[in-house]
Structure 1
Amino acid sequence: MNRIDQLFQNKKKSILSIYFTAGFPGLQDTLPIMEAIEAAGADIIEIGVPYSDPIADGPTIQESNNQALKNGMTLHLLFEQLQQMREKVSIPVILMGYLNPVVQYGMDAFCKKCKEVGVDGLILPDLPMQQYLSEYKSLFDAHDLRNTFLISPQTSEARIREIDQNTDGFIYMVSSASITGARKSVSPEQIAYFERVKAMGLKNPRLIGFGISDSSSFQTAAAHAHGAIIGSAFIHVLRDSKDLKKDIYQYIQSVIS
């Protein structure tokens, strides 16, 4: 069974997914960061594939993308680094990135490589639904890759239901109509949106992302969905860290304890 499916079957709430950019802060930090994330108690690892124009991302993740590219990170190198991943990491691993680098790599080759190294799912925010259904879904299915679409407060009910119908794994609930970035609190408008989607009775579990940064915002998100995704706040930890293993452990424990 796909590890994402297995996770959501075995754990129904307070799921924590941690996002970081491959090749940041250092080019060879990818696997050590992954090991530290799992050891600290997170449930899913999302690896960002660096891209020169990450349109949905705020300054923190943009800067990490720029630094990773300067360090020399590429999709080819990332797959090399992930070659021994499953000897050290057992939790679900998702690659998140933009369509352009994946198409440049070759979608067939990309999916094959994901399967080979043990990647469980993909998040490609700029992949259009119809293109996914007509060109890529059969390919993703053949390589046991779960595809995740994003919804936001502006997404219509009809669109949310279409996404739910054509999604495997989980739905990524963007918490607000803005770019990524850690924020201090969850607004009443966001809570209303979380509750509105929860009441729709979707078949897929939901994880809330954008603006989740600490125990308080994680608990709030987890009360209205199956869990949450932390990205920018975790990138801050990596950027400021003098001891990655220790600082990752302390940060993730501070969120889930």
Structure 2
Amino acid sequence: MSRIQDLFNRKKDHVLNIYCTAGYPKLNSTLEVMRALQNNGADLIELGMPYSDPLADGPVIQASSTVALANGMTIQTLFEQLKEMRSSAGEEPIRVPVILMGYMNPVLQYGFEKFCADAAAAGVDGLILPDLPEYEFETEYGAVIKKYGLDFIFLVTPETSVERVKRLDALSTGFLYAVSSSSTTGKDKDMGDVSAYLQKLQDLKLKNSVLVGFGIKDKASFEAACKHAQGAIIGTAFIKALDGQEDVKGTVQQFLKKVLQ
């Protein structure tokens, strides 16, 4: 059983996944941010691999990617940073599940199988690659992902047909990522409008747990998302909170306290 599946077996609701950009706010901030998230209540960490043309990301996350790339973050550098993250030697190990989120272009440049092998060796648990099509996943890449024991998470939207939702649920492992609306990250959402969509997903009795993303930013939106899903993903609001902050640990602590208490 993967760490992600174990998490959902142990915790049936209010699972909090926090998105952070690798190499932001500073090149060597990655593990400091991850440890602070773990220590202050995050159940899962979604680590964004910065890319110059991120299709699903709004301006805040795009800007954090631009900063991280300027800082010198690459996939190779990221794996160097993560290689000791599960080790008890030195600083505190990361125990929570870690997902890499990114786009196919830099992964293919790195080498897809090498990427999966290095991710698994570093202790990464799963992947979110929004621009990996279902067909290519089934015919080529899914077998490689499975070979290295990585979970793969597909995204669904309110416009995704019931048939396709069921198909993507069958292909996903770990959880299913329910985008709250068909837009980029960071847009404000009326969670009341989202609830009918989430209720529809709940009624389908899907194989995977569902986490809601896009527009979750505080305690109220987190609680609203959790009414019809196992948990939620916060990204843009967290990146905003980190912007310009020198005290990473204190900033993370304050942010998660406002969401969880």
Out of 193, 198, 204, the residue aligned to residue 197 of structure 2 is: 193
Out of 93, 106, 111, the residue aligned to residue 111 of structure 2 is: 106
Matches within 5 A, 1:10-159: 10-87=10-87, 88-159=93-164
* Alpha-carbon distance, 1:148 to partner: 0.2
Out of 221, 224, 229, the residue aligned to residue 220 of structure 1 is: 224
* Alpha-carbon distance, 1:182 to partner: 5.3
Q: State, as a whole percentage, how many aligned pairs show the same letter.
A: 48
Residue 243 (structure 1) aligns with: 247
**2:170 pairs with 1:165:** yes
Q: Tell me the secondary structure at the aligned position of residue 52 of structure 2.
A: coil
Task: Give me the whole-angstrom Cα distance separating, in 1, the residues matched to 2:97 and 2:8.
Answer: 11
Q: Deviations over 1:5-53 (max 9, x none)?
A: 1101111000000001111110010010000000011000010000000
Q: Deviations over 1:129-188 (max 9, x none)?
A: 1101111112111111000000001101011010011111100000011110052x5343
TM-score by length of 2: 0.96
Residue 209 (structure 1) aligns with: 213
Distance 1:46 1:187, change over 3 A: closer
Q: Which amino acid aligns with 1:6?
A: D
Q: Please list every run of at least 4 consecutive aligned residues from structure 1 whose deviation after the TM superposition is greater than 6 angstroms.
A: none
Q: Deviations over 1:58-85 (max 9, x none)?
A: 1100100111111110000000000111
Q: Tell me the secondary structure at the aligned position of residue 217 of structure 1.
A: helix
Q: Which amino acid aligns with 2:144?
A: L
Q: Tell me the secondary structure at the aligned position of residue 51 of structure 2.
A: coil
Q: Tell me the secondary structure at the aligned position of residue 122 of structure 1.
A: strand
Task: Give me the whole-angstrom Cα distance separating, in 2, the residues matched to 1:123 and 1:152.
Answer: 15
TM-score by length of 1: 0.97
Residue 90 (structure 2) aligns with: none
Q: Deviations over 1:77-122 (max 9, x none)?
A: 0000001111210000000000111111001100110111100000
Q: Deviations over 1:177-224 (max 9, x none)?
A: 1110052x5343211111111111111100000000000000000111
Unaligned runs of 5+ in 1: none
Task: Give me the whole-angstrom Cα distance separating, in 1, the residues matched to 2:147 and 2:253.
Answer: 36
Q: Deviations over 1:215-235 (max 9, x none)?
A: 000000011100000000000
Task: Give me the whole-angstrom Cα distance separating, in 2, the residues matched to 1:55 and 1:182.
Answer: 14
Report if aligned partners of 1:205, 1:225 keep a CA contact under 8 Å in 2: yes
Q: How many residues align?
A: 256
